[in-house]
């Protein structure tokens, strides 16, 4: 066999194999719900077979070199049998969401057989409303979240069709011998020092790319070390787990999340983390666990797969970096929580943590298996994070399995060792849905978390609606003429209306001075009426100011001496409510855009 056709797992891919334990399964997946009855299994099988040439990894298995001579390879499985990987079942009546969730939990409680291609696909009939579901389960070593979406996309189509294409012929190549695997390992080991030397030469020659990479690497390593020393807090989430799972999903509208994003000048990912933080806090307090000042730490995977390459190289394996963000779970105002999450994520982006993670991953690619195992154990340690929170953007167009439209999609994450909970989020065609995976014994009250996610979402929507109402009121009354209907202005409107007004409208800069003078003066001027009429005390004050100015000019005295006379007039000009002292007609309300 020509060994150059083999594909060796990178360090990230291999780490998911190394860290798999009896109670920690490193497979991920998704649940897709379709309209209409399920297709016949034979037709479904033929359809999947016709698309397998676009996902070559689905017909490959792991091949391990002896004597721990490097990471394993992907090779064609000569015994590949599609019928083994495709399974069908049905829910009993009434076929509701709770029954589907229990089935998903059972399927994801079972490890995949490493002697075969690491994936399964289940066709589930009998859902209420005449619907059916498809459950896809793949090992994380062969695919990441983004690639998983791409796999789902190639197995389906953008238009309904009843045509099943003819499968392309496939002839598996024979498995490599151990001699070939050892030869590859020796050759790569011999090439590694030269690659390292080339990098050092670039740095010594002062190439800008090498210098910036080295600087970012050192900065990020320092940040990573400090975070390792600063351990994640203790919590009920971090305990010994078994092999059995519980699963819940929560449906949401993507338009609602986007509205929050636009109104509060943030990102959808920040909104997701804010809702998750609040829900976890509610769950902890339901257990009477103290949350005052508590900040959980979330592992937030960030995809490095270029957008231009999505769907082109699905067999490329994992292309992601691990970031660790702070989740404020203490009881607080929803907008304050969002602000803390936003600042935390912005700080991560500026910390070079991603650059360091990328560089460390590259170094691990040259590490022997025993060193790689130790490094991956640290990466998945409870010292670094309390739970996994991952957000995967999906297609915003309807997809079809043959002529059945996909209605919903829910992601299923994995549980690392001693981590009892993981939350995954996926958007599809106007929806953004949560998938919550918990250990069966550690999180028996997983329904509380699901309900809390819905309540937290509603609270944040209410807070955003209040901001929107206040901004519209400000713009309707014309109080802030320069307030544009932008997300930034909406976010700051409730706290900085006076500052924006003084910067955008003449005659309002002395509003605070007028308030102070009204407190000091025993006689307060009457507030202006709703039609903008001038108060009676304003005209004499204006006359006094004019007289003072003419007197100052005729005597040619310094301006500083004239100020005490003019200053009280300026104070008296403005009524208590800050209305314009000049006579004017009723202001025309400004319509909110």
Per residue, what are the HEC states of 159-193? CCCCCCCCCCCCCCCCCCCHHHHHHHHHHHHHHHH
Radius of gyration of the chain (CA): 32
Element (H, E) at 43: helix 41-51
pLDDT at 235: 95
Cβ burial, residue 114 (10 Å; 0-12/13-18/19+): middle
As a whole number of angstroms, the distance between CA 358 and CA 559 comes to: 65
What is the reported pLDDT for 125? 96
Q: How far apart are CA 97 and CA 102, in angstroms?
A: 9
Contact status, residue 576 vs residue 518, Cβ threshold 8 Å? yes
Angstrom CA distances, 304 to 146, 212, 266, 391, stand at: 10, 19, 21, 14
Q: Could you write out the three-class secondary structure of 284-298?
A: HHHCCCCCCCCEEEE
Q: Pairing state of beta strands 320-328 and 400-401?
A: unpaired
Q: How far apart are CA 137 and CA 112, in angstroms?
A: 9
Place of tokens 């975070």: 227
- Contact assessment for residue 255 and residue 396, using Cβ atoms and an 8 Å cutoff: no
> What's residue 494's pLDDT?
43
Report which secondary-structure segment, H or E, holds 499: helix 487-504
Q: Which residues pair with 253 in a beta bridge?
A: 431
Tokens of 1: 């066999």
State how beta strands 421-428 and 320-328 pair. unpaired
Place of tokens 């549980």: 415
Token pair in block for residue 98: 């709770």
Burial letters 476-506, b for 16+ CB under 10 A, else e: eeebbeebeeebebbbbbeeebeebbbeebe
Q: What confidence score (pLDDT) does residue 150 get?
A: 63
Cα–Cα distance for residue pair 331/106, rounded to 1 Å = 34
584: tokens are 């004017």
CB atoms near residue 429 (< 10 Å): 16
- Find residue 135's DSSP bridge partners: 31, 122
Tell me the H-state helices in 52-177.
82-85, 97-107, 145-155
| Long-range contacts of residues 201-206, Cβ cutoff 8 Å, at least 24 apart | none
Per-residue pLDDT, 472? 80
How far is CA 247 from its chain centroid? 20
The two tokens of residue 30 are 């998704």
pLDDT of residue 182: 80
Q: For residue 404, report the phi and psi dihedrals to the nearest 5 degrees.
A: -105, 125
What stretch of H or E contains 323? Answer: strand 320-328
Helix (H, G, I), strand (E, B) or coil at 141: coil
Domain spans, the chain: 513-522+561-577
Q: Is 89 left (phi over 0), alpha (psi -120 to 50) or beta?
A: beta
Q: For the chain, count helices (H), then strands (E).
A: 17, 15
Measured CA to CA, the distance from residue 555 to residue 568 in angstroms comes to 21
Question: For residues 192 and 195, what is the distance between their CA atoms, to the nearest angstrom?
Answer: 5
Tell me the torsion sign for CA atoms 144, 150, 154, 157: positive
Evaluate whether 227 touches 324 at the Cβ level (below 8 Å).
yes
In the predicted model, residues of the chain with pLDDT beneath 70 are 1-5, 68-69, 144-150, 192, 194-229, 303-320, 349-379, 478-593
- The kind and range of the H/E element at 356 are helix 353-364
Whole-angstrom distance, CA of residue 479 vs CA of residue 499: 12
pLDDT given at position 99:
98
- Predicted confidence at residue 435, as pLDDT, reads 97
Q: Mention every residue, 6+ apart, whose C-beta is less than 8 A from residue 468.
A: 263, 490
Q: Which helix (H) or strand (E) holds 302?
A: strand 295-303
| CA–CA distance, 409 with 145 (Å, rounded to integer) | 13
Residue 131: its pLDDT value, please?
A: 97
pLDDT digits over 333-374, tens only? 999 999 999 998 887 766 655 555 555 555 555 555 555 555
Number of neighbouring beta carbons within 10 Å of residue 190: 9
Give pTM, 2 decimals. Answer: 0.74
pLDDT at residue 453, as a whole number: 97
94 preceded by cis ω (within 30°)?
yes
Predicted local confidence at residue 365, as pLDDT: 54
Q: Which two tokens stand for residue 312?
A: 């082109």
């Amino acid at each position: 066999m020509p060994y150059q056709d083999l594909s060796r797992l990178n360090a990230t891919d291999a780490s998911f194999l190394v860290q798999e334990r009896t109670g920690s399964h490193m497979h991920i997946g998704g649940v897709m719900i379709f309209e209409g009855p399920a297709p016949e299994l034979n037709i479904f099988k033929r359809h999947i077979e016709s698309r397998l040439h676009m996902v070559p990894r689905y017909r490959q298995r792991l091949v391990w070199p002896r004597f721990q001579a490097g990471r394993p390879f992907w090779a064609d499985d000569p015994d590949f049998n599609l019928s083994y990987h495709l399974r069908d079942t049905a829910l009993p009546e009434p076929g509701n969401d709770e029954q589907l969730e229990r089935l998903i939990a059972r399927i994801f409680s079972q490890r995949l057989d490493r002697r075969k291609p690491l994936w399964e696909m289940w066709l589930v009939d009998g859902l209420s409303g005449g619907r059916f579901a498809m459950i896809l389960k793949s090992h994380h070593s062969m695919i990441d979240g983004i690639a998983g979406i791409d796999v789902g996309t190639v197995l389906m189509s953008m238009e309904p069709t009843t045509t099943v294409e003819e499968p392309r012929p496939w002839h598996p190549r024979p498995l490599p011998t151990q001699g070939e695997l050892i030869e590859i390992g020796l050759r790569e080991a011999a090439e590694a020092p030269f690659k390292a030397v080339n990098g050092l030469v670039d740095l010594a020659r002062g190439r800008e790319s090498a210098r910036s990479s080295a600087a970012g690497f050192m900065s990020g390593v320092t940040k990573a070390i400090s975070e390792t020393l600063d351990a994640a807090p203790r919590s009920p989430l971090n305990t010994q787990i078994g092999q059995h799972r519980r699963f819940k999903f929560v449906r949401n509208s993507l338009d609602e999340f986007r509205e929050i994003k636009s109104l509060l000048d943030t990102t959808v990912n920040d909104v997701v983390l804010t809702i998750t933080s609040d829900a976890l806090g509610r769950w902890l307090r339901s257990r009477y666990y103290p949350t005052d000042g508590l900040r959980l730490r979330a592992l937030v995977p960030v995809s490095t797969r270029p957008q231009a390459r999505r769907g082109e190289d699905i067999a490329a394996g994992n292309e992601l970096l691990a970031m660790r963000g702070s989740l404020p779970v203490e009881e607080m105002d929803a907008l304050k929580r969002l602000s803390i999450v936003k600042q935390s994520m912005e700080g991560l982006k500026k910390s070079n943590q991603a650059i360091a993670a990328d560089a460390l991953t590259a170094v691990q690619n040259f590490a022997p298996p025993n060193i790689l195992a130790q490094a991956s154990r640290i990466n998945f340690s409870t010292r670094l994070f309390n739970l996994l929170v991952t957000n995967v953007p999906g297609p915003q167009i309807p997809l079809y399995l043959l002529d059945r439209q996909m209605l919903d999609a829910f992601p299923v994450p994995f549980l690392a060792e001693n981590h009892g909970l993981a939350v995954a989020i996926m958007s599809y065609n106007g929806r953004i849905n949560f998938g919550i995976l918990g250990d069966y014994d550690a999180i028996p009250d997983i329904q509380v978390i699901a309900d809390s996610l819905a309540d937290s979402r509603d609270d944040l929507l209410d807070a955003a609606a209040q901001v929107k109402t206040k901004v519209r009121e400000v713009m309707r009354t014309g109080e802030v003429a320069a307030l544009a209907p932008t997300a930034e202005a909406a976010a700051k409107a409730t706290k900085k209306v006076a500052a924006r007004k003084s910067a955008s409208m003449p005659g309002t800069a002395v509003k605070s001075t007028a308030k102070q003078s009204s407190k000091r003066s025993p006689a307060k001027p009457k507030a202006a009426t709703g039609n903008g009429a001038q108060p009676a005390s304003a005209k004499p004050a204006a006359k006094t100011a004019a007289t003072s100015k003419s007197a100052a000019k005729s005597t040619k005295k310094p301006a500083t001496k004239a100020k005490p006379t003019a200053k009280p007039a300026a104070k008296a000009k403005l009524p208590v409510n800050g209305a314009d002292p000049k006579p004017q007609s009723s202001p025309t309300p400004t319509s909110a855009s």
